[in-house]
Structure 1
């Protein structure tokens, strides 16, 4: 159960000022966060916030807002716990979160939300690195030393050591633990310490900090992570650095009107659904002779490329193109834009079939329909697939990839009749 300072909402829902502890200062902070990210996260109204397709967690001024996915427009409030588990499992399967099973995140916790899970994952990774032994690295340091070593900086030496003849102002190599990788991890630890005050993770974070070496304070940004060296020695740090990057780049100091800063870990549900379907399809296709590709792009026009979500090949021939859409169309038809998109994919990938795949409460395939012929070109088709996100037990469907392939095989049998 979430604590009193935590709110759970569904994507595309409205949260009004004064509701569930959401106050004016939180609204102001969210509006500033939205502006920093080109207004993509929310739609702001005069008395509240309308969430978009981004799911995840936001912490601001002691309030935690967890945004959960849904497929039914009228999803009952009591289903939030179920959809929290679905989101966590999706993040786990797509390797955006490492946890053996959802239940492990809910043992003896005073508050349960994504931020806790990510923080605990990071602290466990850093503890493991400390236990294995933190690496030392060479780096250049400029300053006064008592023995001449490295390169003497004449201008700095004359400026600083006219009186102190026993000192030398040099640039020299140092070999110790105060290097860029540890400085990044140290910054992430500071953020966790600040954000987790009052929770069970605060004491764990302080314990990790006691065992962590003293390093120079930095303020890492996107370019900082591009400078991180990659080698066999630094390979064990990859997971901790990836979580640190997520924490640091989504931390917004001084954005709120209160005393605390904001941290927002948000994921586009469209991309998450695409990645989940891709992973499950690759699992289901093993041993079938079908190859599954994601991110397969082709040049389209004047430097612009087009990319279907998923391409299925067999014997080097494209047998199906899938475009995933995280929206419920149980009561409507696909948009003309989506159908045009599938037509172009078929043309460019020389495919005879394309499938628009939507989440649903049931598994359903509307028969593939032929696009109208143009100048006697080879005909091709587009199908509409609705796949159940949940299994019969109400948990995220692990057989989703198998069910999609069954759709493919079903249509193939129909076409051979």
Structure 2
């Protein structure tokens, strides 16, 4: 059973570092460093960490990497000190639960399975948790019965059914008159949803040494129909369509996509006995804020992430540069508000490059209100200001561009006497957006429904 070490994003793990006591004692040894070094040299690892002298410095990706008999969990923390070793008294359990909640509310973890993950998180690593959730969803599908579909089939049959293809029939069955070459429909379990899930089931035992998970995967494979393999691609998953009967497949296929595509998050299994499952914390933060603001915003405000748009191209039109803000709120009477989410701890109130990016967004989208959203690790307070150059609108003159810098707190605030990160009424993470959003919107807009409280 791999031993588990937990570190924070942007921290450094050095050969010889240890965690735990007794049977749970884990040590980062030379062999683990060499495995991570090989993974870094092959390419994918460069996104997730840098290699130092006998040490690994993790970046803004969170998740888990399993190197031989050691599992390293990289957890988020907005106030983590860069290039520092992780403190031994760090509250890892809290940051682990917070990561699971963020993944669920960002749509990267099936919400219905979140309580199962929180109840059974202690014995497993984060990777094992994801695999366990996948198996739970697959077992649920097996219990309710797998869905059959009609599919077109062309070939030899011993009883005439469907359309007889005379040309192929005469050329193939001149001797075998008991056969018919036909094109007909078959009603069975052989369709794309089942093929993808079977491939993920077959991959699972190679990703974990946990005997319980491997046993569950073996039993599920025995119960699953034998199906031909298919090459999984992002385009293939994008083609999937669900109806009333197959809606229950969505959570399992969401995790299967993570396991099979090896993209975002990235999953790698190779000869160096290393498996990695990482999430870009900037993407999690952006998706969490988008879904939370969409839930809290008044009904007359449209909240979304606009498509990429061209803001520069060369004279020949062959090279273009595009931009895409994280969140845009639009109102027919009050215009639009552009929000840019940044998961980082800026030096001072803001980062200069972030302000320049907001200035470009304001002029590109005609917005007179823009705002930066940083996580709030401490007691930082927001800042309001104006850009020196206004927005010129044809026929309407110049309009000042209001630029705000806000710090969004996720989880409990000890100073307020709140003991838990989750609101007991909504069963969602506590978030300062509940109070802040109404102050950002022009026209005195209030929050929607029950969230206004």
- Call closer, same or farther: CA 1:364–1:257 in 2, change over 3 Å: closer
Provide the rounded CA distance (Å) in 2 between the counterparts of 1:253 and 1:272: 20
Deviation at 1:36, TM superposition (A): 4.5
Report matched runs for 1:116-131 at 5 Å. Answer: 116-131=128-143
> What is residue 411 of structure 2 aligned with on the other side?
390
* TM-score normalised according to structure 2 size: 0.75
| Higher RCO structure, 1 or 2 (CA under 8 Å, sep 6+) | 1
The residue number in structure 2 matching 1:83 is 95
CA contact (8 A) 1:365 1:383 kept: no
Alignment of 1:339-350 (within 5 A): 339-350=355-366
Which of 1, 7, 10 does residue 9 from structure 1 map onto? 7
Q: Deviations over 1:365-411 (max 9, x none)?
A: 44422221369843223222122233123626523321331542699
Count of residues in Structure 1 that have an aligned counterpart in Structure 2: 404
Distance 2:234 2:76 in 1: 28
1:88 shift after superposition: 0.4
Q: For the residues of structure 1 that align with 2:269 and 2:377, how far apart are their CA atoms?
A: 43
For 1:247 and 1:129, locate their aligned partners in 2 and report how far apart those are by CA, in whole Å.
18
Match of 2:270 among 255, 277, 282: 255
* Deviation digits for residues 153-194 of structure 1 (CA, Å, limit 9, x no counterpart): 869x77xx9998877788765432233321211111112233
Contact preservation (8 Å) 1:369, 1:381: yes
Deviation at 1:57, TM superposition (A): 2.0
Decide whether the 8 Å contact of 1:8 with 1:68 is kept in 2: yes
- Point out where structure 1 has 5 or more consecutive residues left out of the alignment: none
* Counterpart selection for 1:54 from 45, 49, 61: 61
Asked if residue 338 in structure 1 is aligned to residue 354 in structure 2, the reply is yes
CA 1:55–1:217: 2 relative to 1, 3 Å: same
Residue 352 of structure 1: how far off its partner (Å): 2.4
SS at match of 1:356: strand
Give the structure 1 partner of residue 324 of structure 2.
307
Specify every segment of 5 or more residues in structure 2 that has no aligned partner in the other structure, as ranges. Answer: 18-26, 314-319, 414-418, 423-428, 446-453
Mapped pair 1:28 → 2:35? yes
Name the CA shift for 1:62/1:336 in 2 (closer, same or farther; >3 Å): same
Cα distance 1:367–1:21, how it changes in 2: closer, same or farther (>3 A)?
Answer: closer
Runs of 4+ in 1 over 6 A off after TM superposition: 161-172, 409-413
Structure-1-length-normalised TM-score:
0.81
**1: CA distance, partners of 2:66 / 2:101:** 21
| Whole-angstrom distance in 1 between the partners of 2:406 and 2:323 | 22
Farther off after superposition, 183-192 or 295-304: 295-304
